[in-house]
């Protein structure tokens, strides 16, 4: 038995590209947060100065998140606006970062699972805080025989939030991969004769020609940007909004037994 295998570290299996990009996205969010902090710190030194440019956009975005949180969860839950702001920045960036050619972190199941786990923990933390010892009664209601079923259904929000985000991102990635392959093949059929005998090295270092070669790059740039706007930009905005709303509603539902519709109506008034 080779004892050295026990402590051998496999860097290739640990540094998954999507995880590395996810860390990069978090770094970008952190840098933007520091920039915003120092920008507004300087702005507060002169209260009469009107926000403009970057500070104006940030002010509008923060105000939008504050209003969305208050309108959804009520004034008493305005403290959740900071969390919603951080989550919205990361999720939207995780979707749109693929526009740069980097792999989207959301196409790796562990990333949406980690994000959904934040909501899952927040749900049960809020429930335990609100109900205290009564929190455990939910698992034996309406009768104790429902304990196994209730233990299974408690994981439904985690599974739903994870698969919704992951499925949307993965489906977009698969569709774009098929479109790229098809357009590259068509481009090679049309322009391949102009590059006959021309070879080049792909990302793996192998010498290739055909759809993977220079003849396959002429049509895709005219069609795929439109699809990227939908599958990356628009889809990222929709998934970010849906995740925030579901998180706020699920947490709000643990704070009171009143119907959610009634709570929303009170917060609007």
Cα 162 from Cα 108, distance rounded (Å): 11
- Map residue 25 onto helix, strand or coil: helix
Q: In this model, does residue 257 exceed pLDDT 50? A: yes
Q: In this model, does residue 247 exceed pLDDT 80? A: yes
| 163-186 pLDDT per residue, tens | 999 999 999 989 988 888 888 777
Taking alpha carbons only, the member of 186, 178, 192 closest to residue 219 is 186
Tokens representing residue 255 in the block: 């704070």
If you average pLDDT over every residue of the chain, what do you get?
80
CA 258 to chain centre: 30
Cα 107 from Cα 235, distance rounded (Å): 13
Q: In this model, does residue 226 exceed pLDDT 80? A: yes
Write b or e for each residue in 229-251: b if 16 or more Cβ atoms lie within 10 A of its Cβ, otherwise e: eebbeebbeebbeebbebbbebb
Mean pLDDT of the region 149-163:
90
Per-residue pLDDT at 240: 94
Q: In this model, does residue 208 exceed pLDDT 50? A: no
Tokens representing residue 206 in the block: 């192998």
Q: Greater confidence, 191 or 68?
A: 68
Which helix (H) or strand (E) segment is 214 a member of?
none
Cα 90 from Cα 86, distance rounded (Å): 6
Per-residue pLDDT at 95: 92
Cβ distance 93 to 86 under 8 Å? no
- pTM recorded for the entire structure: 0.78
Cα 172 from Cα 232, distance rounded (Å): 8
Which residue has tokens 């526009």? 99
Which residue has tokens 């809020």? 126
Q: Greater confidence, 236 or 142?
A: 236
- Map residue 204 onto helix, strand or coil: coil
């Amino acid at each position: 038995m080779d004892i050295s295998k026990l402590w051998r570290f496999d860097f290739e299996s640990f540094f998954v590209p999507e995880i590395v990009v996810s860390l990069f996205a978090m770094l970008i969010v952190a840098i933007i947060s520091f920039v915003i902090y120092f920008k507004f710190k300087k702005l507060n030194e002169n209260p009469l100065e009107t926000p403009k440019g970057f500070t104006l956009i940030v002010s509008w975005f923060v105000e939008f998140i504050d209003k969305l949180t208050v309108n959804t969860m009520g004034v008493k839950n305005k403290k959740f606006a900071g969390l919603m702001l951080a989550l919205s920045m990361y999720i939207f960036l995780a979707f749109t970062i693929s526009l740069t050619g980097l792999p989207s972190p959301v196409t790796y199941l562990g990333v949406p699972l980690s994000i959904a786990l934040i909501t899952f923990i927040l749900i049960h933390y809020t429930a335990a805080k609100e109900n205290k010892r009564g929190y455990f009664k939910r698992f034996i209601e309406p009768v104790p025989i429902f304990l196994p079923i209730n233990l299974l259904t408690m994981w439904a929000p985690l599974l739903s939030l994870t698969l919704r985000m992951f499925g949307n991102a993965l489906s977009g990635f698969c569709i774009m991969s098929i479109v790229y392959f098809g357009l590259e093949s068509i481009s090679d059929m049309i322009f391949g004769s102009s590059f006959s005998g021309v070879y080049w090295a792909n990302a793996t270092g192998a010498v290739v020609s055909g759809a993977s070669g220079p003849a396959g790059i002429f049509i895709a740039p005219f069609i795929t940007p439109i699809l990227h706007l939908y599958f990356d930009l628009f889809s990222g905005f929709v998934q970010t909004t849906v995740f925030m709303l579901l998180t706020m509603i699920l947490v709000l539902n643990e704070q009171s037994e009143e119907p959610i519709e009634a709570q929303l109506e009170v917060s609007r008034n």
